[in-house]
């Protein structure tokens, strides 16, 4: 069959709502850069004009033409270059969006997708199409689905009133002031236009969504929300880090085994909980400084742009300032913590570090006969209002900026003990902190708990446990953990437990 006929038939089989969503996912706002074949030319015409004309004319002709152009580009594309190109990235995004919406063209060359994934050096686990979807776009899709056409229309009216923001923007004038968003698919096109416009104007990104939240907050709840939804519910959904679908993120486990009883148990527990959380995991046993540098270099590769979050477990001996590596050398804890968050592939994404090591030799000792012989360090331990606002500063958009971000932002560092104190271990099971952390995360999957809620529960749980030193003094003591957070949103645990067999590879 002629390819033109195939493309026409394919487009005619897609509903207007899905066309709008396919366009939105395909014109992803945060494509990795720099990319071969990419430049800094404004893509305003490509990403906003088709949406604007569709809303104004109630006609999907320009979106159809955009999708046809994409299909034709991919059809002619020859995957022979060693370097990753802009087309490689776009091809993967297009395929994943089609797969997610269940509109994969029957004529799409899946072998090319495999070849592109090879260029990205993707493992079998990483060939799951869900990795290629942008989680922030998926959250925005859900927000759109929660709003009625009247709600999106009210957002548009509120946006049009901000004359400083819309001045000189031609696509705004194309749509006009009054919009009828009721025809099928027009609501979605208008909402996605608003989102992409705010992104291009540097008013929102995957972390900073205040400007979009303020537009939604101006909607009338009785006429703007779909059944079962509220304005508060919709806004709350934007206040979590976007980690939709599988995988939940990338997990790096670094564990010094030498001279650390129970270290293999620590690795097994952290690997198991990471997989249950839906993370793709990499383990480094007995890391050295060279190992750490190689891992940092690895994480700079383009494929890590697709991950929604980064988690690192680092388990070793240590003191107040440093951690001991497998070769006996030490690294400054502060150096380690500041070097990883600066990796560009995980910018604007949550990064969680579990630092499991002693930070000194002090102990919160417990004295008295009733404490003797009672500790979890022995072998038997196992896991199982408006008025107020009017009196506050008026912070205008002119003094807000989301373009420049401190490297440590969106990072959380969890310490197994407080500064200057021991981090306890069980003789055969390794770190008690690691053990309890894994248990609590496993128990709270699908309960809607956030990472900080888990850590607060962990702090309570750990501080109830009596531990005992392994020296001849056999001192009974308690351990206190804590965390430092630079988070700007809430990081929730996934609602679904992900056993290993749930992972399906993309086309081979």
pLDDT of residue 397: 80
121 DSSP assignment: T
The CA-to-CA distance between both ends of the chain, in Å, stands at 25
Global confidence as pTM: 0.85
pLDDT at 367: 62
Radius of gyration, alpha carbons of the chain: 26
Strand ranges in 361-500 using DSSP code E only, listed in sequence order: 364-365, 411-415, 425-426, 430-431, 467-468, 476-478, 482-485
Sign of CA dihedral 35, 39, 42, 47: negative
Q: Give 10-residue mean pLDDT values along the chain (508 residues).
A: 86 96 84 42 68 95 94 89 87 95 92 94 94 94 97 95 87 90 96 95 92 94 93 94 88 94 92 91 95 94 94 94 93 90 87 93 65 48 47 71 87 93 84 92 84 92 85 83 93 68 38
Q: Which CATH number describes the domain made up of 249-364+406-486? A: 3.40.50.1460
- Domain regions of the chain by residue span: 1-28+43-239, 249-364+406-486
Contacts of 246 (CB under 8 A, 6+ apart): 128, 130, 131, 278, 498, 502, 503
Work out the angle between the directed axes of helices 3-12 and 61-76 (0-180°, nearest 10): 140
Q: Distance (Å, rounded) from C-alpha 108 to C-alpha 160?
A: 40
Q: For residue 421, report the phi and psi dihedrals to the nearest 5 degrees.
A: -120, 165
Phi, psi dihedrals of residue 231, rounded to the nearest 5°: -60, -45
Rounded to whole angstroms, how far apart are CA atoms 432 and 365? Answer: 17
pLDDT of residue 373: 52
pLDDT at 155: 96
Quote the CA–CA distance of 262 and 429 in Å, as a whole number: 5
- Cα(464)–Cα(454) distance, integer angstroms: 16
At residue 389, the pLDDT reads: 52
Which DSSP letter does residue 342 get? Answer: T
Of 303, 331, 365, 358, the closest CA to residue 506 belongs to 303
Contact of 274 with 310, CB cutoff 8 Å: no
């Amino acid at each position: 069959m002629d390819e033109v006929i195939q493309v026409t038939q394919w487009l005619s089989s897609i509903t207007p709502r899905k066309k709008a969503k396919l366009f939105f996912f395909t014109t992803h706002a945060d494509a990795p850069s720099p990319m071969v074949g990419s430049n800094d030319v404004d893509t305003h015409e490509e990403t906003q004009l088709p949406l604007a004309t569709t809303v104004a004319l109630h006609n999907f002709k320009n979106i159809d033409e955009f999708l046809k152009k994409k299909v034709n580009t991919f059809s002619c594309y020859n995957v022979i270059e060693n370097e990753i190109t802009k087309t490689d990235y776009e091809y993967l995004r297009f395929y994943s969006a089609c797969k997610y919406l269940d509109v994969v063209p029957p004529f799409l060359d899946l072998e090319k997708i495999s070849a592109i994934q090879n260029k990205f050096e993707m493992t079998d686990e990483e060939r799951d199409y869900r990795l290629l979807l942008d989680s922030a776009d998926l959250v925005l899709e859900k927000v759109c689905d929660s709003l009625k056409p009247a709600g999106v229309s009210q957002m548009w009216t509120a946006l049009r009133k901000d004359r400083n923001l819309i001045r000189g923007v031609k696509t705004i004038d194309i749509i006009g002031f009054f919009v009828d968003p009721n025809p099928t698919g027009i609501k979605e096109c208008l909402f996605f236009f608003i989102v992409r416009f705010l992104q291009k104007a540097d008013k929102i990104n995957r972390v900073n969504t205040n400007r979009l939240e303020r537009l939604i907050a101006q909607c009338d709840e009785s006429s703007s929300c779909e059944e079962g939804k509220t304005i508060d519910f919709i806004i709350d959904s934007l206040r979590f880090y976007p980690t939709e679908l599988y995988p939940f993120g990338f997990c790096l486990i670094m564990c010094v085994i030498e001279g650390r009883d129970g270290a293999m148990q620590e690795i097994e527990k952290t690997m198991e909980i990471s997989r249950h959380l839906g993370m793709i995991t990499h383990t480094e046993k007995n890391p050295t400084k060279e190992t750490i540098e190689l891992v940092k270099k690895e994480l700079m590769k383009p494929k890590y742009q697709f991950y929604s979050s980064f988690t690192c477990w680092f388990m070793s001996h240590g003191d107040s300032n440093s951690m001991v590596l497998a070769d006996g050398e030490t690294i400054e804890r502060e150096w380690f913590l500041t070097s990883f968050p600066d990796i560009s592939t995980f910018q604007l994404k949550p990064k969680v570090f579990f630092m499991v090591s002693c930070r000194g030799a002090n102990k919160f000792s417990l004295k008295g006969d009733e404490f003797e012989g009672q500790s979890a360090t022995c072998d038997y331990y196992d896991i199982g209002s408006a008025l107020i606002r009017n009196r506050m500063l008026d912070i205008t958009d002119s003094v807000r900026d989301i373009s420049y971000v401190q490297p440590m932002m969106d990072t959380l560092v969890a310490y197994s003990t407080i500064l200057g104190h021991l981090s306890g271990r069980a003789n055969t099971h390794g770190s008690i902190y690691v053990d309890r952390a894994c248990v609590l995360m496993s128990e709270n999957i699908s309960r809607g708990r956030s990472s900080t809620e888990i850590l607060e529960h962990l702090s309570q749980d750990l501080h109830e446990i009596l531990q005992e030193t392994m020296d001849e003094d056999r001192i009974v003591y308690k351990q206190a953990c804590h965390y430092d957070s630079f988070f700007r949103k809430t990081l929730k645990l996934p609602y679904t437990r992900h056993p290993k067999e749930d992972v399906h590879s993309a086309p081979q």
